[in-house]
């Protein structure tokens, strides 16, 4: 998901040290967390909340993964009953001091320059919700450590025959001479229910060939569960919604173009307004919604950190709006309004910290968030709805988060809830549980978003009835 050259990582560390030496005591403003989502940010007058966030990273402790491995970006698919399959990334830093440690999120692989070993794990879990707890209870029933090579992020889904597949963008080479090859592979799962014991393995890859793009970094495509369709990931703009029909995943058809394209004017307008200050792209697979008329998916939003953390407001924005209030804010309109085209096109590749010795260098140079979107299940599959950006509220100060939450899985949980699996800080695997009523309430019709582009926010989604989702 994130590639940073070693020299940039060193620069990041160096800048952090400089800042720690030059910063005095922190401002009170640094104590604020990202602003909580509230009813004003919803299409319906519902106060949006999650039910819980469950950290499942510790399931992978003591099973023979490399020492100090980070396990993150877990894809998910439902297998049967309470059984789910996960596919996650595993990273072991070269330097022992930078290795992951349970309970800590300050060991970002990017701070290690991604020079360590990247591998993957397939796992089968039983997930249930006990009536006396908000969190999910997860038990590991089996796993397969794919320790030979790096498959990066996978997306799990079922094809039209109910068979489990994983979509992967396999990396080739190292940056800058780097490309990805898009594939699908069967995931074979066998369970002996009486023994709570499952075996899971990866089948042979099949190529998803698309020769219409100049980008050699094509990835984050969006499989539509229960079909042989995928959305092509348009970096930055999300639209036009561009669709492949692979025919079947046994013999995916060769593509030089798309099988359907549908555009809505909000996407070019969003892109023109924000440029790369805030941009939208694919995240999880899409799943059919109740009624069968539409698909729901989660995208990932990347943003200039100065959108939300005034401490890192670029100089040009300070010059045009010198009276910017300190504190964490929830929108990016101030940067969009004060920037010109070249400033909007610039992606931030510079370190920053929050001036607090305890959190130096933890934040990634960009902020990440989730958003929901919906598209029609009939041709040409127009997108119809989108939510504002949100991050799970896991407490603490804004300075305590690293800026990276990456949505990778979406599944149903029971009759009326969804689970969203995501990677936290490239170090942990988490599951956000949310009711479909709240998901629906967060979705705005595209025409409504078009009217309020400057109000597009990123907020922290609280958990119902508790001060912090991890409780």
Ligand X SMILES: *[C@@H]1O[C@H](CO)[C@@H](O)[C@H](O)[C@H]1NC(C)=O
Residues near ligand X (CB under 6 A) are 141-142, 158, 160, 162, 197, 225-226, 262-264, 287-288, 310-311, 313-316, 318, 324, 326, 340-343, 380, 382, 411-412
Tokens of 263: 């555009």
DSSP 3-state of 192? strand
The nearer residue to ligand X, 242 or 387, going by C-beta atoms, is 242
List the structure tokens of 399. Answer: 């300075």
| Preceding peptide of 176 cis, ω within 30° | yes
Shortest Cβ 68–ligand X spacing (Å): 22
* 3 state DSSP class of 116: coil
Least distance in angstroms from the C-beta of 49 to ligand X: 22
Smallest gap from Cβ 174 to ligand X, in A, equals 32
**141 within 8 A of 197, measured Cβ to Cβ:** yes
To which H or E segment does residue 198 belong? strand 197-207
Q: What is d(CA 135, CA 124) in angstroms, rounded to the nearest whole number?
A: 18
Cα dihedral 234/238/244/246 (nearest 10) = 90
Q: How far is the CB of 313 from ligand X (least distance, A)?
A: 4
Encoded tokens for 396:
């603490």
Q: Compute the distance between CA of residue 458 and CA of residue 48 in angstroms, rounded to an integer.
A: 13
Closer to ligand X by Cβ: residue 310 or 403: 310
C-beta of 59 vs 170, nearer to ligand X? 59
Give whichever of 281 and 382 is closer to ligand X, judged by the CB atom.
382
Question: β-strands 389-392, 458-461: how paired?
Answer: parallel
Minimum CB distance to ligand X smaller for 108 or for 225: 225
- Closest distance of CB 355 from ligand X, Å: 8
| C-beta of 287 vs 433, nearer to ligand X | 287
Residues 6+ positions from 393 with CB-CB distance below 8 Å: 33, 34, 36, 50, 460, 461, 462, 463, 468, 469
Nearer to ligand X, 97 or 325 (CB): 325
Residue 464 DSSP SS3: coil
> Given the DSSP bridges, would you call strands 260-262 and 278-282 parallel, antiparallel or unpaired?
unpaired
Q: How far is the CB of 159 from ligand X (least distance, A)?
A: 6
Residue that is written with structure tokens 């039209």 in the block: 160
DSSP helix/strand/coil, 451 = helix
Q: In this structure, are strands 177-192 and 117-129 parallel, antiparallel, or unpaired?
A: unpaired
Q: How far is the CB of 358 from ligand X (least distance, A)?
A: 18
Measured from each CB, the residue nearest to ligand X is 226
Instruction: Give the nearest distance from C-beta 146 to ligand X in angstroms.
Output: 17
Nearer to ligand X, 18 or 179 (CB): 18
Closer to ligand X by CB, 20 or 318: give it: 318
Question: What is each CA distance from 100 to 58, 72, 73, 152, in whole angstroms?
Answer: 11, 11, 14, 18
Q: Is 58 helix (H, G, I), strand (E, B) or coil?
A: helix
Cβ 381 to ligand X shortest distance, Å: 8
In the complex with ligand X, which residue's Cβ is closer, 103 or 292? 292
Q: Is 325 exposed, middle or buried (0-12, 13-18, 19+ CB in 10 A)?
A: exposed
Residues making up the chain, counted from first to last: 471
How near is the Cβ of 203 to ligand X at its closest, in Å?
16
């Amino acid at each position: 998901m994130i590639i940073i050259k070693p020299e940039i990582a060193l620069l990041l560390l160096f800048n952090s040290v400089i800042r720690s030496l030059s910063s005095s005591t922190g401002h009170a403003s640094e104590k604020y967390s990202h602003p909580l989502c509230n009813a004003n940010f919803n299409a319906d007058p519902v106060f949006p909340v999650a039910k819980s966030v469950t950290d499942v990273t510790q399931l992978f402790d003591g099973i023979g993964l490399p020492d100090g491995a980070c396990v993150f970006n877990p894809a998910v698919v439902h297998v049967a009953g309470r059984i789910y399959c996960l596919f996650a990334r595993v990273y072991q830093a070269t330097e022992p001091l930078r290795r992951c440690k349970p309970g800590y999120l300050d060991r970002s692989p990017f701070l290690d320059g991604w020079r360590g070993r990247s591998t993957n794990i397939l796992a089968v879990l039983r997930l249930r919700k006990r009536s006396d707890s908000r969190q999910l209870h997860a038990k590991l029933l089996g796993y397969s450590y794919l320790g030979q090579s790096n498959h990066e992020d996978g997306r799990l889904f079922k094809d039209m025959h109910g068979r489990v597949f994983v979509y992967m963008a396999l990396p080739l080479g190292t940056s800058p001479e780097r490309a990805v090859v898009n594939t699908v592979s069967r995931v074979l799962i066998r369970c002996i229910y009486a023994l709570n014991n499952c075996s899971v393995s990866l089948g042979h890859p099949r190529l998803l060939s698309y020769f219409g793009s100049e980008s050699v970094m094509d990835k984050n495509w969006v499989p539509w569960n229960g079909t042989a369709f995928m959305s092509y990931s348009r970096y930055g703009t999300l639209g036009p919604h561009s669709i492949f029909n692979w025919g079947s995943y046994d013999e995916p058809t060769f593509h030089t173009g798309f099988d359907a394209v549908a555009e809505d004017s909000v996407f070019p307008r969003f892109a023109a307004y924000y440029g790369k200050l805030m941009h939208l792209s694919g995240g999880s697979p899409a799943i059919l919604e109740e009624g069968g008329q539409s698909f729901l998916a989660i995208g990932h939003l990347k943003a200039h950190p100065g959108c939300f953390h005034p401490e890192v407001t670029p100089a040009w924005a300070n010059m045009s709006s010198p009276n910017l209030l300190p504190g964490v804010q929830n929108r990016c309109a101030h940067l969009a309004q004060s920037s010109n085209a070249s400033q909007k096109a610039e992606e931030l590749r510079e370190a920053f910290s929050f001036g607090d010795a305890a959190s130096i260098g933890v934040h990634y140079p960009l902020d990440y968030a989730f958003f929901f979107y919906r598209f029609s299940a009939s041709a040409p599959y127009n997108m119809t709805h989108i939510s504002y950006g949100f991050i799970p509220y896991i407490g603490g100060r804004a300075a305590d988060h690293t800026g990276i939450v990456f949505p990778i899985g979406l599944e149903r949980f029971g009759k009326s809830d969804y689970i969203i699996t995501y990677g936290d800080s490239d170090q942990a695997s988490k599951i956000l549980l949310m009711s479909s009523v709240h998901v629906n309430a967060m979705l705005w019709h595209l025409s409504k978003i078009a009217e309020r582009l400057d109000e597009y926010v990123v907020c922290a989604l609280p958990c119902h009835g508790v001060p912090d989702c991890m409780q």
